[in-house]
Structure 1
């Protein structure tokens, strides 16, 4: 079964464009990573500061490898102080 990750990112007021641009940089790199089945970025239609990543991975181990990747570490460094809140959910896909 695929591992599905839902990550809610809430940018601080005035930083939403910067945070969005930095998250968009992650997409092509992450899609090329071993085990990544999908990696989609969404925005909340009623809150411009709220972004949602919906990810699908072949295994938790490969997702954990992604979490330690240099491009993700760089994203965390450059967005430090610009993120108000972050919530992560690990799900197991049961049915299509």
Structure 2
């Protein structure tokens, strides 16, 4: 299994638009990608401009060959880029026996 964490800081004036786009992107990913096991969108409890995505994929191949080339990912990135102050993407390999691919 592969996990992806995305930390995003959004400009305050774009929070509502960003939240709608993020939820739509999460729903698209889960609905259209068989290899996506989950996609959760979180908002920081003390800083409403900060968001955290937690995505899980069946394998690295599902992430690289399906998710990263999906047209809705490109659309989401293009749409939200002007609203985003910073973004950090981290990819995590599962190491416990039940998570190895």
| Alignment TM-score, normalising by the size of structure 1 | 0.90
- 1:55-83, CA deviations, whole angstroms, 9 ceiling, x for partnerless residues? 11011121122122111111111112110
Q: Which residue of 2 aligns with 1:11?
A: 10
Q: Which structure 1 residue ranges, 5 or more long, are not aligned?
A: none
Q: Is 1:30 aligned with 2:29?
A: yes
**Off by >3 Å, runs of 4+ in structure 1:** none
Q: How many positions carry a matched residue from both structures?
A: 95
CA distance in 1, matches of 2:36, 2:54: 11
Q: Which residue of 2 aligns with 1:79?
A: 80
More helix by share: 2
CA distance in 1, matches of 2:42, 2:94: 19
Q: Which structure 2 residue ranges, 5 or more long, are not aligned?
A: none
Q: Is 1:49 aligned with 2:49?
A: yes
More strand by share: 1
Superposition CA RMSD, Å: 1.4
